[in-house]
Amino acid sequence: MAVKKYVYSFEESYGLGKEILGGKGAGLAEMSHIGVPVPEGFTITTDACTLYYESGKKLPDFLINQIFENIKGIEKKSGKKFGGDKNPLLVSVRSGARVSMPGMMDTILNLGMNDVVCAAIAKETGNERFALDNYRRFILMFTNIAKGHPRDVMDKMLNTLKEENGYKLDTEVTVEQLRNLVTRYKEYYRNTFGEDFPADPKVQLLEAVAAVFRSWDNERANVYRMMNNIPYSWGTAVNVQTMVFGNKGETSGTGVAFSRDPGTGENVLSAEYLPNAQGEDVVAGIRTPLHIDELDRRMPEVYKQFVGIVELLEKHYRDMQDMEFTVEDGKLYFLQTRNGKRTPAAALKIACDLVDEGLINEKEAVLRIDPFSFDKLLLPDFDKDDLAKLKPIAVGLAAGPGASTGKLAFSAEEAERRHNAGEKVILVRSETSPEDIVGMVAAQGILTTRGGMTSHAAVVARGMGKCCVCGCSEAVIDEEKRTLTVGSKVYTDKDVLSLDGSTGRIYEGAIRTVDPDLTSGYFGRLMGWVDKYRVLGVRTNADTPRDARQAKEFGAEGIGLCRTEHMFFAKDRIFSMRKMILADKAEDREKALAEIEPMQQADFESLYETMLPFNVTVRLLDPPLHEFLPQEESFIVELADALGISVEKIKDRIEGLHEVNPMMGHRGCRLAVTYPEIAKMQTSAIIKAALNVSKKTGTMVRPEIMVPLVLEAKELKYIKDIICETADKLIADSGLDMQYEVGTMIEIPRACLLADEIAKEAEFFSFGTNDLTQMAFGFSRDDAGVFLPDYYKAKILEEDPFKTLDERGVGKLVETAVKLGRSTNPNLHIGVCGETGGDAKSIEFYHNAGLDYVSCSPFRVPVARLAAAQANIKKPR
């Protein structure tokens, strides 16, 4: 049986694609095919990376044979000999993942060097300094990357040598000093590892290939993958390529180029060039590069060829290119091309310009925009120049977008008080609860030491478009002393911190922010194409007119989730709510609810007016009642005095409401079954508000009333009957022909499996993926942050299932519910209102599953619109 091919020369690999060759390998194959000067080489595929890990981190013999067959191919084409004492072949060994992961994985240059090869190169080039400089670079890189040993000791040897001799540049080091440095490097290697530095180029190559495969699993690569939703299973390819030398002399050099400005998107060449240097010198910042005009001044013919190839590559790929190049003795080589990383603002301009230039169409322009960074366009950000000078004091989870600066406030009340006094504050809590909502609204940003990406703080902050850093375990809060400790530094309410919600980094002191520029017209133009090509509706999760207004400005087509519980925490109604909870009789509960109803009605009227002509879905009360009662002694005493009852009675009631697992306890529709008067009051407020706004505006409102946490059709029917009896009477008395809908959240696995029965009683479904995920996985979303990192590290899970839908498990429940629900109710409209409703990858799944809309926080609305359009372009329905 033929052995599978894992290694391809650049010439034979054309057309295999990034999935097999990685981005760098695919680019090299493509450039070779269209005639761009590329050094000879070959690619070891991403499948070989998988094979390496499956083989217990070893290279199988048949893979080794394929590697050396391709080395022979390079020798034959180049006339050079790997490890030879005449015309020796040196190679580079570089990683190349399917998508660009700049700086995350490893590269080794000048491989194949040993004492014999070094002498041969010195003799043939007449430049011993050049040969020795490459030798010492190789020993350093091999020790650091292949052996995983820090490079600081070897770097210090060179730096000390330069300091002692007053040298500023590496190029000032003499031949004799380089010879001694190579000897010292090899001695250090021998003392560190108990063996001589490997002289056999074949041993060097195999160790280097294994090292690049290992780098796919290094810490920085794992972090980058998690941040950018790159699956671990993709693996990396390895590219082995003939070395070309930019450090041979003044007619040699190296550089990096972008075919357009990656910061602004302007159609101008953005490139830097470093004469007499290797590529690592540019990346490492060892020397300051020169503007590309310097290449034109030194070698005009090479410059002319360079500009021509840049233009060729951009037209060929029909996108802005990021390229690496080297000039060796006046001859130009391209070492890499890839679609260049760019700022979100630059991405908009480049996409629109490429359409105008006829290189791409509107659909392609929509697909070019990265939805994972798109929301950054909408928020203020720290000034990049100021940020570059600072080092973060701690890092948490990047839970809420934007940037914020303020003094520390240690309670919601303090944050609100100081905000009202004109102060900018950061609310600092171990974790937040619904009672903290006033402080969260007042604060510039929120910092918690516990909780994950879907914790209360994270969800609410994203809904507000509020900067939030969650789960910062490096920080310790002492609520009594009102201090925040990071390492040995203690911060108080007098201290200022800055939070970067897009990275999770925390900085000491104030940092200047800059507002996004959405006035250029590119944003509006692209969003016009987005709405032209999407079929999935996009609503928002909003509880206040402010959030609703913001979402509507961002293009939301209604409210898919209005959480009514946040309305109860306002100061003018929390007392009545607590009075209702503490009441012993139904009539006393009804009296307390009657005090709340006009306030709720006013809230709903504001939301309806703001969102006209779109629909608003109101969820009935969901959290367990204990969340509305005070926990601190002083507040309990205050409530007892106000109600004229004993502290003991309140404490007994709080104890009576205590549950072992409240998130799976007496909450959601179960409250309406036990206390139907709550559902009656809320229905009354919803319908009266809709009737009033319909009369006032002349536009008929169509309320959607959503029952949470349903697990059984009979349960939904019981509550639906209460809703309909209340609503029908109010509508009949009004004389208006107003329609309304009753639906349910699907957030319990049992409901998914019985969706055909439940759909007979529902006019719509909305998946609450936060609860559905935690019930399907069997772990709490607020506690999972403790152990999920271990699951990522062990490769058990690759993504946070609360952030990106678990398609294999929870996704099957969603598909089952959609299929079953529409089998008995073909007119059932279906949406999603959990956190995954704003996640681009999840939105593609929801589009393919046949949902009608997604609902997300206001600042995720443009992202959801973009992701919905991309999903339909990829797979129209």
Known catalytic residues are: 456, 833
Residue with tokens 């909305």, as numbered in its chain: 766
Residue with tokens 């760098």, as numbered in its chain: 24
Q: To the nearest 10°, the Cα dihedral for 512, 518, 523, 524?
A: 160
**3-class secondary-structure state, position 257:** strand
Question: 567 with 436: CB under 8 angstroms?
Answer: no
Q: For the chain, what's the residue count?
A: 877
**Nearest alpha-carbon partner for 788 in 451, 402, 342, 289:** 451
The pair of three-digit structure tokens given for residue 104, joined into one six-digit string: 């995350």
Residue 326's beta-bridge partner residues? 254, 333
**Nearest alpha-carbon partner for 365 in 525, 229, 521, 519:** 525
Q: Cis omega before residue 613 (within 30°)? A: yes
Q: Cα(495)–Cα(707) distance, rounded to whole angstroms?
A: 45
Q: Cα(332)–Cα(327) distance, rounded to whole angstroms?
A: 4
Residue 469's beta-bridge partner residues? 398, 447
| Other CB atoms within 10 Å distance of the CB of residue 351 | 25
Q: In what order do the strands lie in the sheet with 483-486?
A: 475-478, 483-486, 489-491
Q: Cα(347)–Cα(374) distance, rounded to whole angstroms?
A: 9
How far is it between the farthest Cα atoms of the chain? 103
Angular region, 209: left φ>0, alpha ψ -120 to 50, beta rest:
alpha
Residue with tokens 């019981």, as numbered in its chain: 718
Q: How many CA atoms are closer than 13 Å to the CA of 387, on its beta-carbon side?
A: 16
Residue 761 DSSP symbol: T
Burial class of 707 by CB neighbour count within 10 A (0 to 12, 13 to 18, 19+)? buried
**Nearest alpha-carbon partner for 271 in 226, 310, 244:** 310
Residue with tokens 């600042």, as numbered in its chain: 859
Q: Give CA angle at 301 (298, 302), nearest 5°.
A: 75
Q: Where would I find the H helices in 171-286?
A: 175-193, 201-215, 219-228, 279-284
| Other CB atoms within 10 Å distance of the CB of residue 55 | 11
Residue with tokens 């890092």, as numbered in its chain: 395
Cα separations in angstroms, 507 against 487, 501, 821: 13, 11, 50
Q: Cα(796)–Cα(782) distance, rounded to whole angstroms?
A: 19
Q: Cα(198)–Cα(144) distance, rounded to whole angstroms?
A: 14
Cα separations in angstroms, 690 against 291, 687, 725, 731, 766: 64, 5, 16, 10, 21
Q: Cα(306)–Cα(327) distance, rounded to whole angstroms?
A: 10
**3-class secondary-structure state, position 221:** helix
Q: Which amino acid is at 80?
A: K
The pair of three-digit structure tokens given for residue 657, joined into one six-digit string: 């409401």
**Nearest alpha-carbon partner for 727 in 702, 700, 697:** 702
**Nearest alpha-carbon partner for 539 in 144, 858, 64, 120:** 858
Q: Which amino acid is at 570?
A: A
